[in-house]
Chain A
Amino acid sequence: MNIFVCVKQVMARDSVIRLDEGATWVRDDGLTFEMNEPDTYALEEALRLKEKHGGEVVAVTAGPARSASTLREALAKGADRGIHIEDDRFVEADTHATASALAAAIGRERHDLILTGLQSDDSGFGQTGVILAERLGLPHATIIMEIDASDSQLRCKRELEAGWFQTVTLPQPALLTIQSGINKVRYATLMGIKRARKKPLQRYTTDELGIEISAQQSVRRLYQPQQAKQTVFLEGGSREVADELLNKLRFEARVL
């Protein structure tokens, strides 16, 4: 089974955000970056499917030079090779540009299954996987909780709203977006990290793939959200704060 898994590098979850000069994105300097958490589950699922059915796992990303470290992480965890479509403009690119780049790279190779995370922790469009499927002419299913790939069809458990699920069946090749929590992700071992250095990592420029990065939607301005409510902050020692809170809940909010 030739499995491609799309990963994105995003800033670490606990990052302190500072806006860039034009207030259209955040400042990169001084930040640490990590693999988009939903993508870590997609990668883990790809590795498990390979362990079960054989084949190859290829990690693909579209991002600036620094995102190579996220591909190395994927290789250290067990992916066989990496593909890096390198361009600084992917940092602020919309989902259409990213999906088009991924489609151009993956479309050159034989693919039985493509996995992506549900959405990114930065832009949060939640669209890249589905657009990629459409670009490659593949069927897709989203928010997948379980994959059975034991015959030529894929039987998947798809999450619906409010605690409901359904089984969907689709032919291969196909694209699935993976729900976070589908598995327990592995850590890279020292041996894995060592091996990763020797694994192939192919770089493409957008020119080499014959793609243009054009935006269909753009951020005009980023800003701190306005307070939806006037939050009363309670301060002081822990017991003092506890007493004050209970007081407020009993006599002000009247919910106790």
Chain B
Amino acid sequence: MSILLVTEQQDGKWHRMSLEALAAAQEAATNLDSPLVAAVVGSGVGQLASELASKRVSEVAVIESPELAQYSPDGFTSALRQAIEQVKPRLVLFPHTYQVRDLVPKLAASLGGCFVSDIVDMRFEDGEPIFVRQLFQGKLHADVSASGAPPHLVSVQSGAYRADAVAEGATPAPIRNLPVSLDAGAVRTQAEPPYQDAKDAVDLGSAPIIVSVGRGIQDPDNIPQAEALAKALGGELAASRPICDNGWLPLERQIGSSGQTVAPNLYLALGISGAIQHVVGMKGAKTIVAINKDAGAPIFEIADYGIVADLFDVVPKLIEALEDSN
């Protein structure tokens, strides 16, 4: 039985996580000794299909229809159900995007199968995949196995696999159209074009140094301390989700799955526990420093330098030391 990868694209451009999921799918196909079918879904996706065919895949499947030009849970569930019935895979992999979070639980429920969401790794034992998920906000990892009738649906966390690990194919893979019939009248959710709220968004993506605050900052009155440190380091101030939810800093300074993704030279995390939603937005930083009272905070797993201490003790001393050395 094959492995099916469902990529994600928007207006003929890849979602960046599609190639990461392809790397995961190639690894699964090799280890499970299964053919890999890579699918593109949408309207006018011929170019992307050819691009995918140059990678090491057994076949590229095109699921194309004018009804799929825009995402809807009803339309995409119907299309993918029909595609899965034709391919009959044992495993279907997706990148864990917002669209996948909206779509795949519904698809799984309508197929009567399971969806192992947001995996960070896979292992293979006796020809069966074991999926690694993060539990309790990343404090623990779990080896998870799927049971029940195939296909098993799985989504891959951002950054868990590397897009540059995708293997090229020796010869272009065949491209096959998977015909689907869709009823526009059955689509109940109507979506308007996407927009951005912040007119003059801060471009944290180009900042070489970022000082970021989390719940540990405790009170909005303490934000200026972190701001002063950012200034002394010549960096930008950012925050994890709860800080922006509380309105202590504007949303455009938020790092994480719902905010910006950054990869600065230096990321200084103050009182940030390191929940998955935050970590996916900053784990690409060259050097990560974590200051947190809780020695068990998951942020220390990805930190290069860790200080287990009260940030209100350390931050003023850091500012002092920076001033002394200038």
State how many angstroms separate the Cβ of A89 from the closest Cβ of chain B. 16
Known: A134-B105, A222-B142. A245 touches B307 (CB 8 A): yes
A-B interface, 4 closest residue pairs, ranked by CB to CB distance from nearest: A181-B245, A216-B114, A130-B105, A127-B105
Q: A123-B135, A231-B290, A239-B320 are in contact. List 11 more A-B contacts (CB 8 A).
A: A124-B135, A130-B106, A141-B102, A158-B191, A161-B258, A216-B147, A217-B146, A229-B301, A235-B308, A238-B317, A242-B317
Q: Considering the chains assembled together, what is the distance between the CA atoms of A231 and B269 in angstroms? A: 14
| A239 B105 Cβ-Cβ under 8 A | no
The answer to whether A126 has its CB under 8 Å from any CB of chain B is yes
In chain A, positions 223-256 with a C-beta closer than 8 Å to chain B are 223-229, 231-235, 238-239, 241-243, 245-246, 248-249, 253, 255-256
Specify which of A159, A221, A228 is in contact with B301 (CB 8 Å cutoff).
A228
Residues of A within 8 A of B303 (CB): 229, 231
Interface stretch (choices A47-55, A57-65, A168-176, A197-205): A168-176
Specify which of B252, B257, B307 is in contact with A234 (CB 8 Å cutoff).
B307
| B106 A165 Cβ-Cβ under 8 A | no
| B261 A162 Cβ-Cβ under 8 A | yes
Known: A17-B136, A127-B105, A131-B106. A181 touches B97 (CB 8 A): no
Interface of chain B: mostly helix, strand, loop or mixed: mixed
The answer to whether B31 has its CB under 8 Å from any CB of chain A is no
Interface stretch (choices A74-82, A93-101, A107-115): A93-101
Residues of B within 8 A of A215 (CB): 147
| A164 B194 Cβ-Cβ under 8 A | yes
Interface stretch (choices B43-51, B57-65, B161-169, B196-204): B196-204
State how many angstroms separate the Cβ of A193 from the closest Cβ of chain B. 24
| A231 B307 Cβ-Cβ under 8 A | no
Count of chain B residues near A, Cβ 8 A: 93
| A131 B105 Cβ-Cβ under 8 A | yes
Residues of A within 8 A of B190 (CB): 168-170
The answer to whether A140 has its CB under 8 Å from any CB of chain B is yes
The answer to whether A2 has its CB under 8 Å from any CB of chain B is no
| B314 A220 Cβ-Cβ under 8 A | no
Residues of A within 8 A of B258 (CB): 143, 159, 161, 179
The answer to whether A195 has its CB under 8 Å from any CB of chain B is no
Q: Considering the chains assembled together, what is the distance between the CA atoms of A232 and B290 in angstroms? A: 10
| B314 A241 Cβ-Cβ under 8 A | yes
| A218 B307 Cβ-Cβ under 8 A | no
| B115 A231 Cβ-Cβ under 8 A | no
Residues of B within 8 A of A187 (CB): none
In chain B, positions 202-228 with a C-beta closer than 8 Å to chain A are 208-209
State how many angstroms separate the Cβ of A224 from the closest Cβ of chain B. 7
In chain B, positions 98-136 with a C-beta closer than 8 Å to chain A are 98, 101-102, 104-106, 108-110, 113-118, 130, 133-136
Residues of A within 8 A of B138 (CB): 225
Q: Considering the chains assembled together, what is the distance between the CA atoms of A221 and B189 in angstroms? A: 39
Q: List 19 A-B contacts (CB under 8 A).
A: A11-B136, A14-B294, A124-B133, A124-B276, A143-B258, A163-B252, A170-B190, A181-B241, A216-B146, A218-B144, A225-B298, A228-B283, A229-B301, A238-B317, A242-B321, A249-B287, A255-B266, A255-B287, A256-B233
Known: A99-B109, A140-B106, A166-B194. A243 touches B252 (CB 8 A): no
Q: Considering the chains assembled together, what is the distance between the CA atoms of A95 and B143 in angstroms? A: 16
> Which of A127, A134, A139 has the most chain B CB within a 10 Å cutoff?
A127
| B289 A249 Cβ-Cβ under 8 A | yes
The answer to whether A167 has its CB under 8 Å from any CB of chain B is yes
| A165 B195 Cβ-Cβ under 8 A | yes
Interface of chain A: mostly helix, strand, loop or mixed: mixed
> Which of A162, A215, A218, A219 has the most chain B CB within a 10 Å cutoff?
A162
The answer to whether B304 has its CB under 8 Å from any CB of chain A is yes
Q: Considering the chains assembled together, what is the distance between the CA atoms of A11 and B137 in angstroms? A: 11
Count of chain A residues near B, Cβ 8 A: 79
Closest residue on chain A to residue B318 by CB atoms: A242
The answer to whether B302 has its CB under 8 Å from any CB of chain A is yes
The answer to whether B14 has its CB under 8 Å from any CB of chain A is no
Q: Considering the chains assembled together, what is the distance between the CA atoms of A219 and B144 in angstroms? A: 5
State how many angstroms separate the Cβ of B262 from the closest Cβ of chain A. 11
| B195 A225 Cβ-Cβ under 8 A | no
The answer to whether A70 has its CB under 8 Å from any CB of chain B is no
Closest residue on chain A to residue B195 by CB atoms: A165
Chain A window 117-145, contacts with chain B (Cβ cutoff 8 Å), 1 for yes, 0 for no: 00001111111111101110001111100
Residues of B within 8 A of A181 (CB): 241-242, 244-246
The answer to whether B192 has its CB under 8 Å from any CB of chain A is yes
Known: A161-B257, A217-B147, A221-B143. A255 touches B136 (CB 8 A): no
| A165 B318 Cβ-Cβ under 8 A | no
| A167 B136 Cβ-Cβ under 8 A | no
Known: A17-B140, A140-B106, A225-B134. A164 touches B307 (CB 8 A): no
